[in-house]
Amino acid sequence: MKCGGCVRAVEQRLQQQPGVRQVSVNLLTRTAWVDLDPAVAGGQDPLPALLGSLESLGFPARPRESHPEAPGSRRERLQQLHWWQRWRQLVVALALLIISGLGHLADAGQLPWRGPWNLLGTPWFHALVASLALVGPGGGILRQGARSALAGLPSMDTLVGLGVGSAYLSSLVGWLWPASGLPCFFNEPVMLLGFVLTGRFLEERARYQTGRAIERLAELQPDQALLVFGEGPPRQVRVGGLRPGDRIRLLPGDRVPVDAVLLEGTSSLDVSSLTGEPLPQAVKPGDPLAAGGLNLEAPLLLEVQHSGADSAIARIVRLVEQAQARKAPIQGLADRVAGRFAVGVLLLALAVFLFWWLWGAAHWPAVLAGAAHGGHGNSTAPTTPLGLALQLAIAVLVVACPCALGLATPTALTVGSGLAARSGLLFRGGDAIETAASLSAVLFDKTGTLTLGRPLVTRLHPLTTTADGLDPADRLVQLAASLEQQSRHPLAHALLQEAETRRLVLLPLLESRAEPGEGLEGRLEGLDAAVRVGSLAWLEARGVDVAPGCPAQKQLEAGGASVLAVAVADQLLGLVAVEDQPRQDAAATIARLRREGLKLGLLSGDRRASVERLGERIGLEPQELAWELKPEQKLQRIVAQQANGAVAMVGDGINDAPALAAADLGIAVGTGTQIAQDSADLVVLGARLEGVVRALHLARRTMAKVRQNLFWAFGYNLIALPLAAGVLLPGFGLRLSPPLAALLMALSSLTVVVNALLLQEQDGQD
């Protein structure tokens, strides 16, 4: 595919096939995502019919691989894309262009050589060079253009083929039949092909650089791994052959080939290529390791958890590919214009031809008195109304560029989504990027989003002394943690972590009984009486004297902490304050978003004191806080905020799935890619909340490039088409020759691609 007309032709042809519900075609990556209705297929494979329909239209296709390609496969695929054929076409076209140019100089008597070189200026030699150019490098353009025209879907090849063919035929008739009055300019179709093919080759190279993001991600997964067999030495095998349960050896400097769990060894991993985390991640036995991490320090023994096709890298690559396939709403206008562009240009070229042939040249006779450029026995400057009309019509055909319109949006979105993926930011599509660039408000969940989601012990308030010399605070933590050692409650985790930090030995648990929402009661070895951990109200109902702890409870709860009381028999030993800690970058993230002019808010189901305490610590205003909200109340708050503009909801991607889906932009922080596919429009991998700010900045820069590209594409055609049609010819004597029009057309496509690539330069500077 070469232009927006090709995209429209492919989409229309696929949508005409039975069972096709939706089609999204990407000009840059030359991929089509097709949504099929299984009921219509009737159990038959619809793929052959889809491929056959595109083959008949002149767009041969093949199924896209469902797993990341190894570098070797990537090289093979580039060969399948006919890079050598493009090089050959380009070299032949440029050689013919040079020969034609030398002939032009020979005909004008400007060559310093004499003798056989004068043959270069003969008309038959120019006709031979032009014929070779059309049959050789121009043959594909002519065939594809004719095929598209016959299918009723003219494309860029149709316009170029018609311009080149008409220039060649008119020159041939003018040479063989001088009385016809047609101009003889065999060098112009050769120059047209030379400029068009040169522009397409440069554009293709720039496209390749634009779409390198997926390849860079796939390269994070190595081709080989060291498979461990019993006690023998490791053997090098293909990563594609690894299966769950296999054991592999990872040496320092190697990347983790597949998702695995660490069995032996400790080291540090560089995961910045996946999550953007700048600091190495310390790993120990039992830790899960995602594919793509770089081992920095020591040899490790891993057990494979997922095959290469199901690894974290493979899932990320699939998300990026889907993101590049989903179009942004802003692309709709360009696609609609580009789809009908070729037909409009054909009609405009016909109108220009008839105008200058039948009326324009007679009304302004001075336009035919242009200076002669020299040529094949005739001047390339038109001397008859028919010659002028033909040259201007050809210039209109060639200068028009639906390529720039078709490439304006997908090039910028592809570069933007690729840069985001390299920073651990996964957008679901171009629509998500466009929404992120136009947000008016960002709302946050509390637990697991603004906080770590792992409560920690923040204060201890012992009320008794110990007879065995143990510190009262340590005794308080030891008893509470011993009773909670078999519990999975988040508060139990906080007690156990505090006991580990204090290096306390836990007492064996003999029995325990939990009352949901109240507390835990049980017996520990070495103690005759029951031990209880829970709320003061629950302990009081069990006969414990809680009066000494009431003043301290009010003080701790006022600070936003959850308070646990610990008692043995009917004696209250003390209080433990447990509080979820804010993320380290939460306050900085809130401050940066506020400087961006965004409205902020916190929607939480937690207690008021806890929410207010967190708001004070991270810089949220009291009016921006909401507490004790049920899921349906969160949705109501989001809908109410949407009346003032686009709203983003930031959550952990699990409990907040309804809110993420209801918001204009759902952002999941620190979650797996499966949650992103189900509920979130943007996933921020890792534990960095500041990734939200970076994602919004990148979305804004990306959409700025989209608008710049669209402005250039529309503006170029609005200026170039009238200029090629001859609007400046009567007053200023200025016109576009067909070769110059071809050069401008090639530069216009190249401009939008290079402008999109500048996003990478800006990202490097940031």
Q: What are the residue boundaries of the structural domains of the chain, listed by start?
A: 4-72, 222-310, 420-451+583-700, 453-582
420-451+583-700 CATH fold: Rossmann fold (3.40.50)
Which one is predicted more confidently, 316 or 57? 57
Spatial contact of 671 and 683, defined as CB atoms under 8 Å apart: yes
When comparing pLDDT for 481 and 41, which is higher?
481
pLDDT for 759 beyond 60:
yes
pLDDT tens digits along 557-602: 877 788 889 999 888 999 999 888 888 899 999 999 999 999 999 9
**CATH topology assigned to domain 222-310:** 2.70.150
Strand ordering across the sheet containing 294-295: 281-283, 267-270, 294-295
Percent of the residues in the chain that have a pLDDT greater than 70, as a whole number: 88
How many CA atoms, within 13 angstroms, populate the side-chain half-sphere of residue 427?
Answer: 32
- Minimum mean pLDDT range among 240-254, 477-491, 665-679: 665-679
- Tell me if 267 sits within 8 A of 283, measured CB to CB: yes
CB contact set of 475 (below 8 Å; sequence gap of 6+): 462, 466, 573
Residue 708 pLDDT > 90, yes or no? yes
- Percent of the chain surpassing pLDDT 90: 23
Strand-by-strand arrangement of the 665-669 sheet: 425-427, 682-684, 665-669, 646-651, 439-444, 599-603, 625-626
**Which one has a higher pLDDT value, 503 or 687?**
503
Mean pLDDT of the chain: 83
Q: What are the residues facing 426 on neighbouring strands?
A: 683
What 3-state DSSP class applies to 203? helix
Phi-psi map region of 503: left, alpha, beta (phi>0 left; psi -120 to 50 alpha): left
Q: What is the pLDDT of residue 456?
A: 87
Mean pLDDT of the region 607-619: 88
Please report which confidence band the pLDDT of residue 673 belongs to, taking 50, 70 and 90 as the band edges: very low
Angle, vertex CA 277, rays to CA 276 and CA 282, nearest 5: 140
* Of the listed ranges 97-101, 162-166, 185-189, 676-680, the one predicted with least confidence: 676-680
pLDDT digits (tens, 9 = 90+) for 62-73: 887 655 444 445
Calpha distance 735→391 (Å, rounded):
10
Distances (CA, A) of 698 to 423, 425, 433: 10, 10, 9
Instruction: Give which of 394, 411, 414, 400 is closest to 750, Cα–Cα.
Output: 411
Q: What is the pTM of this model?
A: 0.77
Between these two residues, 310 and 479, which has the higher pLDDT value?
479
Helix (H, G, I), strand (E, B) or coil at 430: helix
The yes-or-no verdict on residue 765 having pLDDT over 70 is no
* Contact predicate 437/707, CB 8 Å: no
Give the CA count within 13 Å in the CB-facing half-sphere of 411: 36
What does the pLDDT read at residue 290?
A: 84
392-430 per-position pLDDT tens digit: 999 898 888 777 888 888 888 888 888 888 888 888 888
Instruction: Rank 70-84, 349-363, 664-678, 744-758 by mean pLDDT and report only the highest.
Output: 349-363
Residue 369 has pLDDT above 70, yes or no: no
Please compute the mean of the pLDDT values over residues 718-727 and round it to a whole number.
92
Does residue 75 carry a pLDDT above 50? no
The answer to whether the beta carbons of residues 433 and 665 sit under 8 Å apart is no
Mean of the pLDDT values across residues 607-621?
Answer: 89
More confident call, 190 vs 625: 625
Separation CA 546–CA 563 (nearest Å) = 13
Q: What is the C-alpha separation between 548 and 570, in angstroms, rounded?
A: 13
> What positions carry a catalytic annotation?
445
The mean pLDDT value for 153-163 works out to 86
Residue of higher predicted confidence among 66 and 246: 246
* pLDDT score, position 672: 44
Task: Provide the pLDDT confidence category of residue 368 given band limits of 50, 70 and 90.
Answer: confident
Angle formed at CA 347 by CA 343 and CA 350, multiple of 5 degrees: 140
Give the mean model confidence (pLDDT) for residues 170-175: 86
Question: Nearest 10 degrees: CA dihedral of 216, 218, 219, 221?
Answer: 140
Q: At residue 359, does pLDDT exceed 50?
A: yes
Domain 453-582, CATH homologous superfamily name and number: Calcium-transporting ATPase, cytoplasmic domain N (3.40.1110.10)
The stretch 103-125 carries a mean pLDDT of 70
Q: Which fold has domain 4-72?
A: Alpha-Beta Plaits (3.30.70)
Nearest to 537 by CA among 574, 565, 578: 565
**pLDDT tens track for 528-546:** 889 999 988 899 888 888 8
Q: Nearest-CA neighbor of 322 among 136, 114, 64, 17?
A: 64
Banded model confidence at residue 678, pLDDT cuts 50, 70, 90: low
Average pLDDT in the 495-521 region? 88
| pLDDT tier at 376, thresholds 50, 70, 90 | very low
